[in-house]
Structure 1
């Protein structure tokens, strides 16, 4: 840029003042772009939170109105075919084992991560958390806020532990679909999984990108995570084709453990995290009821 000064005593004065004025004009534009970016991120978090509430309603109806009745009737038929009479509540015990399986995996992963976090700054959250709009919540996959002096991004090993835990969890969710003998009910479970996995995939991708891993590693983890649910569906379908009361009992046991994982997701993952936020409470409840009503309507039509 060519600049001509009108001051013979200070020929650079006009150039400096013109450059300074041009720089000042850029500051409001940069501030406006920053505000737009923050608003876009806030809208994205709120949208993910609302969709997660709808998915929570779908999962709640799937657990209470579909998975649990099917599991209880199937295991009762298997025990009756084997002429087994139990005084011990085996059905509920198997359901609890599926619940505790995910709980133990989560707590082991959290304990491993929190070794590098000072005790006074620890704040445990759920492993499968979603991105929430509330500023007081940390939904970063492992749910532990970054401490001072500790890098916010986990190491590559911790990221792999997270992916492994979620992948194992996805296998059991897929089993719940593959073990279904009714095609329509299998489609209902696929709908519930589609809603939940979409939220979970976004959260996991953001967490892996924050881990400063290579793009190839992040892509590989995403492919592994996306293949686990179809793998569980295939295993469940193969087991469902087997004949005999023993195979039916094994199928019922796996179905009960899968139902326990669904209970965990619904009551300890989605609902507490999303409803704990003070933002959009009424809308979240409406979407929760809408998700529940959707599955209820589908079940009512099938009767």
Structure 2
């Protein structure tokens, strides 16, 4: 086995193990899953979430979008396609609207089921069993639903499992392309350089992703599956790149670029309509939250600057 292939396989294994390690810290440590603790505990969790928001904001603006625009413009230039239309930006918008439409459909189905259930409920409760609770149940379906103990609307809008899944999906797709970049290299020094950068970058990303998944109240089995699958994405990309290099085939760069654009649009939606609004719209410690968002952004920006 030649040395370059050994280096790529080593990078594959290293990325897999390190991603699993950092991903399972929030998933396995009870402190992150404890939601009804003290005020200090809730504040610290919120600040960690803000830090994760800053990380995702930096990943969106400094990593995913620039990589995508560079790739698709290179593909268009190579094919000598001159289009008087902002096609790269349109593909990102398509990814954005895909998530928006899917989420609205999910919300509409939930609302329809809730309305149907309320229509089937008896108008007059059985006085022998209700003990005067009929008025309370009626009030729970009115405007005060969001302020009730269940927080049905608030929780779904804030940390919905659907949005967490889309965040996982877009990051996973991007991780495949990161791994592909390693697998397609033809020098061992370049492989090590890119691998170290991705290791540092992905360790912070997977930790932040795991925090968001924990906050979405996803079942532990599904959470473990999400982290496991995400950890395998970069190694999968490396394996695809190795296969392409060994077979000496040309990669489908145009399809790859289109998928990158859809993933970038998805990530824009999740970052600006899910993560940041939830943290900034919740009361308390507003300036401190902004500071932690800036901290997460600055760390990722520094890593990007250092290459």
CA distance in 2, matches of 1:276, 1:136: 15
Corresponding residue number in structure 2 for 1:175: 173
Corresponding residue number in structure 1 for 2:289: 284
In the TM superposition, what is the alpha-carbon distance from 1:74 to its structure 2 partner?
A: 0.8
Of 262-271 and 101-110, deviating more is 101-110
Q: Do residues 301 (structure 1) and 306 (structure 2) align?
A: yes
Tell me which structure has the larger Cα radius of gyration: 1
Corresponding residue number in structure 1 for 2:110: 113
After superposition, the CA RMSD in angstroms is: 3.5
Q: Which runs of 4+ in 1 moved over 6 A?
A: 135-138, 243-246
Q: 2:88 aligns with which of 75, 91, 108?
A: 91
CA distance in 1, matches of 2:213, 2:279: 17
1:266 partner SS: helix
CA distance in 1, matches of 2:281, 2:262: 27
Q: Do residues 63 (structure 1) and 75 (structure 2) align?
A: no
Q: 1:178 to 1:262 in 2, by over 3 A?
A: same
Verify the 8 A CA contact 1:57 1:287 in the aligned structure 2: yes
CA distance in 1, matches of 2:254, 2:270: 25
Verify the 8 A CA contact 1:102 1:261 in the aligned structure 2: yes
In the TM superposition, what is the alpha-carbon distance from 1:114 to its structure 2 partner?
A: 1.8
In the TM superposition, what is the alpha-carbon distance from 1:274 to its structure 2 partner?
A: 0.7
Of 182-191 and 234-243, deviating more is 234-243
Structure 1 length-normalised TM: 0.63
The structure carrying a bigger helix percent of its residues is: 2
In the TM superposition, what is the alpha-carbon distance from 1:183 to its structure 2 partner?
A: 3.0
Gap runs ≥5 in structure 1: 1-36, 125-134, 145-161, 209-217
- Give the aligned length: 228
Structure 2 length-normalised TM: 0.63
CA distance in 2, matches of 1:272, 1:53: 10
In the TM superposition, what is the alpha-carbon distance from 1:95 to its structure 2 partner?
A: 0.9
Q: 1:196 aligns with which of 208, 215, 220?
A: 208
